[in-house]
Each structure stands twice: as structure tokens, then as C-alpha cells.
Structure 1
Amino acid sequence: MKVCTDSCVLGAYADTGVGGRLLDIGTGTGLLALMAAQRNPTAQIDAVEVDDAAFQQATENVQASPFAEQVRVIHSRIQPFLAEPYDRILSNPPFYSNHLRSPDSAVNRALHNDELPFEELIARVASLLKPEGQFWVLLPPFEMERLTSIAAKTGLRPFRQLNLRHNSRKPVFRTVTAFTFDGLATPTTDELIIFEPDGKTYSAAFRELLQPFYLIF
């Protein structure tokens, strides 16, 4: 799978804490886990991935990185996965349902939520997150509304949100939302525009956020 710009934004924007335990659900290439390791060098990070090829790729990427002692890549579905509670959970989950399928099964697994419906994702997050922990997730706006409704049933409520636009003329195409069990948290909303109106030049805000990770900056 390609490394997506919006996933990089999640990795750069999410609060990864200081130290503690962090879980990346559906790590793919290992991107979020490695970004979290760079930002929180004393955290212990578990990166769970079900797809065989993606698991192998993530393992190779972690072993080739400076964070090999910090990140553990685990070949498993998240549904049966058991561990001590985490301080932070990150996920860029599949979200398509009832859409046309690709002939590539790996693409389908990455993009379609047949194997990880939102109800099952939230159930696992609620059981694996510490009472004071945070869950950070990236989805399109409509799917985020669905996930938020499902999460509320477990006591998880949003306290921070970042809306992503390709440029100022385009609608919001992805949303990063942070959830907590703290029902008294007051939600705040930010916006990030990736490109200037020419559609080619990265905005100053995007460059500042991604500068620690993008070699072109």
C-alpha cells in the first residue's frame, strides 16, 4: 500500500504522549508506529497487522529503522488480540462498505471494512484503552460521524478534531478525531489546508506540521 498524505497528517498531529504504551491498529507499512516512535522515543509501541504482505513490509521497515527496539510488529487480527491497556491507540482503519471490490485482495482488506467493522473496532479500542487514554483515528467525514455515534455507546467521546482540505476551495475530505472516556471534555476543532490555491504548493501550515518527517522540507 502507498503511504498516504492524510495518514502522515494523523501521525504528525496525534498526541503520542510521553513514554507509556501505544498501539497502532492496522499498521500497514508501519508508518504510524514509526512516526510515533520518532515523536515519543520512550514509548513502547505495538503495531498490529492482519495482512501477510503488509506485516512482512512493516517488519522490514521497523528493522531498518532506528526504532527497532521500540516497535513490535504483531501479525494478528485485532479482534482476538489481548494485551495490557494502552495510553494511546492510533488507527487509519478501512472504511468502505458495500462498494465495488478490487481484484487485489490486499487492496480490499486495506480499504473495505468487512473484516473490521466499526462496531468491532470500537469494542476493541474500548477494551484496550486505559481509562485516561486517548484514541486517535482518521476517516472521511461521513464515516467519522458513524464511528462517533458507535463510540458514544461505549463512553468514548471526541475531544479534538482536525478537518483536512486539499485546498481552500475544496470540501473536507478527511477528519482526524481524538476520543477519550472523559465525558466532560470540551471538543475543539482545527483545520489544515494541504495545498495553496494552485493545487501544487504545500501550505505553510502543512510544511510546518510535516517538516520533521518529509525529506523534501
Structure 2
Amino acid sequence: MARNTHFQFKQFTVQQDQCAMKVCTDACVLGAWVDVENADRILDIGSGTGLLSLMVAQRNTYAAIDAVEIEAEAFYQAGENVENSPFNGRITLFHAAIQDFTSEHLYDLIITNPPFFQSDLRSPAGKVNLAHHAEALDFVSLLASIKRLLAPEGRFVILLPVDEGNQFRKMAAEQNWRLDQELTLFHQTDKKAFRVLMEFRNAASPTRDTVTETLNIYQEDGITHDPKFRELLKDFYLKF
């Protein structure tokens, strides 16, 4: 996906020139895939440009959405994006680390596209490190924050690279979270999987079988979008 200064969706625009994390295809898949039904209160951890909050607000027309972002420039740009959207009355932004964030409410749904490199080469740019690396938010801190803020019957959904997803899945199981749904994302059929999207809930919730799916962005030619991908993003992408 091109790194333009803005990205135009069907119902809103995401300005992104001040954000280390630009609009990317995998985040768009998360925003379109996550189950937003029966969620009155939604929390977006590490909101960046505000993309996920905006996508969720388009799909769920009644939820109150809180979005938390630690990096100052991303926080202010997300504020611009939300203010200029049709959903500005339902999205509230907070400039804070999630570890320090408090709320009067527990959340029915938590969504997050977190810093994911637990141990990797660091960028010289500080805000890039905050966006890509788990310096300010490791998995232990993230799970602790989710446990504190999620309603007992609530769900949380996370997007990660495959290797980090395997680490996180194991850690979540050890902390009594149950994997309910999993979507593995491929560029195309003959390529390795590059992202995994996972939905968890408290293991004490009624038992259900884990639903596992795969999604290709492109068909085998690497150019034509896969029909399932087009169907998922048709309410958002102008070209669909």
C-alpha cells in the first residue's frame, strides 16, 4: 500500500504524514474483520492514525469508542482524522500509555495493532521505535492492561506477525485467555503467511470451538485482489 500523506476511504480520510505507522493492508483487514456486534463500548489500544477506531465506528453505528495513543504526533493526527470524520461524536482520544490509562467503564471489545517486535533491530527514529517495537508496551504489560480494562464477558482482538503471534498465543493461554477466532493472512497462496489476527476471551466463558480461517490479499498473479479480500474491504476501499 502506498505511503501517501493521506489515504481516502469511502466514508472518511486518514491523514498520516505525522505518524510512523501508516495505513497498511493488514490493519485494514483487522478493522473489517473484527466482530463488532453487541459491543457498546470499544477500546482501541495504540490507535496511531485512528484507522481502526474509524473503521469500527463505520461498522458499529452505536458504540462509544475510546482510543489511546502514547506518541504525541500520532495522537494529534488521530484527533484531526476523527474530527473530520462522520463519527467524531462517538470516538474519544486519550494521550497516554495504556498502562496508565484508567476508565470509569469496562469494555465489551478491545482492539489492538500493538508494537510487535519483541527483540529486533531498533530504528534511529524514536517514534518509529514506539510504533514498531515493544519498548513502551511489551506483551506482559499489554495482557495486564487488557485484563484490567475488559469486561468479564468481553473479547479482545490483536494483529501480529506470525512468529510474534505464536509467542502471544502461548502467553495468553498461560494467563487463562481462550482463542475463539483466528485469521491467518497471506499476500497470495504461494507466499508465507505474514500476519495473524486473533480473538480471545476469558477461558471461563462458555466453551466454543476455535474458528480458524485464512485470507489471501491477491490471487496467484500477485496483482488481482482475491474475491474474499474484495468482499471484506468493499465498504472501505474506493477501488472496490
**What residue in structure 1 maps to residue 190 of structure 2?**
169
**What residue in structure 1 maps to residue 81 of structure 2?**
61
Structure 2 matches for 1:66-85, cutoff 5 A?
66-83=86-103, 84-85=105-106
**What residue in structure 2 maps to residue 115 of structure 1?**
136
C-alpha separation between the residues in 1 aligned to 2:210 and 2:201? 11
C-alpha separation between the residues in 2 aligned to 1:145 and 1:185? 21
C-alpha separation between the residues in 1 aligned to 2:51 and 2:233? 13
**What residue in structure 2 maps to residue 214 of structure 1?**
237
C-alpha separation between the residues in 1 aligned to 2:175 and 2:147? 7
**What residue in structure 1 maps to residue 178 of structure 2?**
157
Instruction: List structure 1 segments (4+ residues) > 3 angstroms apart after TM superposition.
Output: none
C-alpha separation between the residues in 2 aligned to 1:206 and 1:187? 21
Q: Which runs of 5+ in 2 are unaligned?
A: 1-20
C-alpha separation between the residues in 2 aligned to 1:17 and 1:154? 25
Query: Structure 1 105/30 Cα, relative in aligned 2: closer, same or farther at 3 Å?
Result: same
C-alpha separation between the residues in 2 aligned to 1:201 and 1:105? 37
Shift, 1:156, TM fit: 1.2
C-alpha separation between the residues in 2 aligned to 1:182 and 1:21? 21
Q: Percent identity?
A: 47
Question: Equivalent of 1:126, from 144, 147, 154?
Answer: 147
C-alpha separation between the residues in 1 aligned to 2:203 and 2:139? 21
Shift, 1:185, TM fit: 2.6
User: Are the equivalent residues in 1 in contact too, given 2:57–2:87 (CA < 8 A)?
Assistant: yes
**What residue in structure 1 maps to residue 9 of structure 2?**
none
Matched, 1:34 2:57: no
Matched, 1:137 2:158: yes
Residue 208 of structure 1 aligns with an amino acid whose one-letter code is: E
Residue 48 of structure 2 aligns with an amino acid whose one-letter code is: G
Q: Which runs of 5+ in 1 are unaligned?
A: none
C-alpha separation between the residues in 1 aligned to 2:119 and 2:198? 24
C-alpha separation between the residues in 2 aligned to 1:185 and 1:162? 16
Residues 39-61 of structure 1: per-residue CA shift (max 9 Å, x gap): 00100000000000000110000
Query: Structure 1 135/19 Cα, relative in aligned 2: closer, same or farther at 3 Å?
Result: closer
Q: Scaled by the length of structure 2, what TM-score is found?
A: 0.88
Residue 200 of structure 1 aligns with an amino acid whose one-letter code is: I
C-alpha separation between the residues in 1 aligned to 2:118 and 2:57? 32
Residues 102-148 of structure 1: per-residue CA shift (max 9 Å, x gap): 12211111000011010000111111111111100000121112112
**What residue in structure 1 maps to residue 63 of structure 2?**
43
C-alpha separation between the residues in 1 aligned to 2:98 and 2:67? 10
